[in-house]
Amino acid sequence: MTAPIWQPGTTLDSCNATSARTMVDGLGIVFTELGPDFIRGTMPVDARSVQPMRILHGGASVAFAETLASVGANCVVDRRTQAVVGQEINANHLRPVPEGGMVEGTARPIHIGSRSQVWGIEIVDAQRRMVCVSRITLAVIARP
């Protein structure tokens, strides 16, 4: 097994703390696991994340995917001098999730470079069925 990709001091508590009073907090997203090369979280399917047909809104899935990857990407770089920001994201929505459910997402890096990162994100429902698959490209920038 290779060494974890995370910078020293990266914890679930620190990941969750950075999301306080943001859209992440507003959607009810919670980071639940840091593996050696992945970050995982959950998001409820409720009034904050459904569309008028009372199923998970595709935009909420994309926000969830980008949140997982962006937080993970920022935990890989030296946060004193660098930040990572999204450039492009795509998503394939594969199955509906009705209101009252919960989704779980897992983000893993595909490429970690000095100027860019690419992450893949899989979102599943409570029965572990694939709901959405997404990929994001992020830019590594100097921290202002």
The per-residue pLDDT string of the chain (144 residues; one tens digit each, 9 = 90 and over) reads 467 899 999 999 999 999 899 999 999 999 999 999 999 999 999 999 999 999 999 999 999 999 999 999 999 999 999 999 999 999 999 999 999 999 999 999 999 999 999 999 999 999 999 999 999 999 999 997
CATH of the domain at 89: 3.10.129.10
List the domain range (segments joined by +) for residue 105.
12-142
CA distance 121 to 54: 23
CA distance 14 to 67: 14
Domain count, the chain: 1
Task: Find the catalytic residue in 66, 88, 99, 122.
Answer: 66
Residue 4 lies in a domain: no
Q: Which of 58, 82, 94, 73 is nearest to 136 (CA)?
A: 73
Residue 1 lies in a domain: no
pTM score:
0.95
> Would residue 66 show up in a list of annotated catalytic residues for this protein?
yes
Alpha carbon 99 to its chain centroid, in Å, reads: 20
Please give the DSSP secondary-structure letter assigned to residue 37.
Answer: S
